[in-house]
Amino acid sequence: MQPAADKPLAIGIDIGTSGARAVAMRPDFSMAAHSAVPIDRFGQNARDPAGWWSAVGAALTELLSRIERATVRSIAVDGTSGTMLPVDGAGRPLAEPLMYNDTVADDTILAAIAHRAPATSAALGVTSGLAKALRFQHLPGVARLLHQADWISAKFSGRFDLSDENNALKTGYDIEARRWPDWIAATGLRMELLPRVVEPGDVTGTLTAAAADLFGLPRDVIVVAGTTDGCASFLATGAEAIGDGVTALGSSLTVKILSDRPISEPRFGIYSHRLGNAWLAGGASNSGGKVLARHFPLARIIELSAAIDPTTETGLDYYPLSTAGERFPIADPALRPRLAPRPADDADYLKAMFEGIAAIEALGYHRLAELGAPALTSVRSVGGGAANPAWTEIRQRRLGVRFLPALSDEAAAGTARLALMGAGKAGLL
């Protein structure tokens, strides 16, 4: 039997707003090593591509110090969805990137997209990748408009002309037809600036000599097309069957389900990413952990949770929001928070908020099903709230489906799965 240390490894890299994370994964999906490096370690910030690369380089160097470099077969990268960067013919950045949550305030650009894009397109809106591309296309010397993950991946492969289907979605890519649609040219965008799009998990090349030397890796390590941070987080959990759901209980509440068909409903902020022959559909509520944090510090939430009986109901019908306005599963910018009447006991108050957020989660999956998604069959949970036993039991009772453990909540682990897929396609495992 081959010693564990000699088994082939695939590396997934996640680059986000705070830093870079890297995971080395075995073919059985177990994790051999992981690392994390903040961008600010280098005195740079999330808007500096040099800071992205410094953090990625440091995270990868740290990871490689914990494994045998000769066992590495592939590398893939995920990045923030909708972050755009203009580059010249050599891949050098020409301007500060526009980040995933940056808005384009140019009414002419927004109108050009609104008048030509299908109503279901993810390229609509002030934060769309296409709007940012239109902003950048007039820069002197611009040769390509790339997404964050495209550029980092290209630093390994030298291919500054490629993207993946998930990152390209908000730039207008048609994931059903699998091409850049003709209507994009009608917005005035120079189509030659857009990258060629491949499927996540496709092999895009091998390491450049410079990258191989920098990290002490073999030249034949393959580079694999990655994905967005959101898709990578879903893949990391191990969810893979139609009807599998993943709930993220962080500062906000996000639900996603693997569907056998694409679901798109812009008024709820719902669009679908393609994952192989399936589709990842979901939405994000304005409710979540940030509402709880407005009322109790974390230590108090932990203390009160121990006093909650999750098998009974408070009978209170809360809709926990920090301020007026909801996007999913109710699309109402004027929806007001409902957090009254308040019980005298703080534990009952927290319990009622848990119940309210669980009800929103259940309504979210129901809304997706109404729009054509499959019925929910299982849920994996990630985020800080997933570790709260009382809240978990309340959610289980409300959703009425199996709760399965998430294999990982690291986006880099999901991207490592794509790196494994690429290595498998190349016959390297």
pTM: 0.92
Residue 274, in any domain of the structure: yes
Same domain, 400 and 417: no
Q: At 228, list the tokens.
A: 């967005």
Token pair 């030298």 is found at: 158
Bridge partners of 37, per DSSP, are 20
CA–CA separation, 279 and 274 (whole Å): 5
Show the tokens assigned to 395. 């959610």
Pairing of strands 72-79, 31-38: unpaired
Comparing CA positions, the residue from 256, 234, 228 lying closest to residue 81 is: 228
CATH number of the domain to which 371 belongs:
3.30.420.40
Q: Are residues 415 and 396 in the same domain?
A: no
Q: Which of 86, 140, 133, 84 is nearest to 112 (CA)?
A: 133
371: pLDDT strictly greater than 50:
yes
Domain check: are 193 and 252 in the same one?
no
Q: Tens digits of per-residue pLDDT, 263-298?
A: 999 889 898 999 989 999 999 999 999 999 999 999
Q: Is residue 236 assigned to a domain?
A: no
Instruction: Give tens-digit pLDDT for 37-60.
Output: 999 887 778 899 999 999 999 999
* Range of the structural domain that residue 375 is part of: 241-404
State the residue for tokens 């693997």: 258
Same domain, 318 and 220: no
CA distance 405 to 410: 14
Residues 248 and 191 in one domain: no
Q: Which residue has the tokens 């800080």?
A: 384
Is the same domain home to 157 and 279? no
Domain count of the fold of the chain: 2
- What percent of the chain stands above pLDDT 70? 99
Query: Do 164 and 225 touch, CB atoms closer than 8 A?
Result: yes
Nearest alpha carbon to residue 63 among 31, 24, 8: 24
Q: Are residues 166 and 301 in the same domain?
A: no
Per the document, the length of the chain is 429
Please tell me the distance from the alpha carbon of residue 392 to that of residue 388, in angstroms, as a whole number: 6
